[in-house]
A = this chain, B = another copy of it.
Amino acid sequence: MKDLRIIVTGGTIDKVHDPRTEGLSFAPDGATHLPEMLRIGRCHFPTVELLMLKDSLYFDDADRAAIAGAVAAAPEEAVVVTHGTGTMGDTARFLAPRIGDKTVVLTGAMRPFSLYTSDGEFNLGGAVVAAQLLGHGVWGVMNGRVFAAAELNKNTEQGRFDV
Return chain B residues, CB-CB under 8 Å to A133: 129-130, 133-134, 146
- Contact indicator A125/B144 (Cβ below 8 Å): yes
* A107-134 vs B, Cβ < 8 Å mask (1 yes, 0 no): 0001110111111011111111110111
- The tally of residues in A whose CB lies under 8 Å from a CB in B reads 52
Q: Kindly state whether residue A97 has any CB partner on chain B within 8 Å.
A: no
Nearest Cβ in chain B — how far from A94, in angstroms?
Answer: 23
Q: Report A19 CB to chain B, min CB distance, Å.
A: 4
Contact check: which of B20, B123, B159 meets A20 at CB < 8 Å? B159
Contact A41 B129, beta carbon cutoff 8 Å: no
Copies assembled:
4
**A17, A126, A130 — most chain B CB neighbours (10 Å):** A126
Are A112 and B144 interface neighbours, CB within 8 A? Answer: no
A22 at the binding interface (Cβ < 8 Å): yes
Interface residues of A in 33-76 (CB under 8 A from B): 37-38, 40-46
Instruction: Write the nearest CB–CB distance from A162 to chain B, whole angstroms.
Output: 8
4 new A-B contacts at CB < 8 Å, known A4-B144, A121-B122: A17-B24, A19-B110, A19-B159, A43-B160
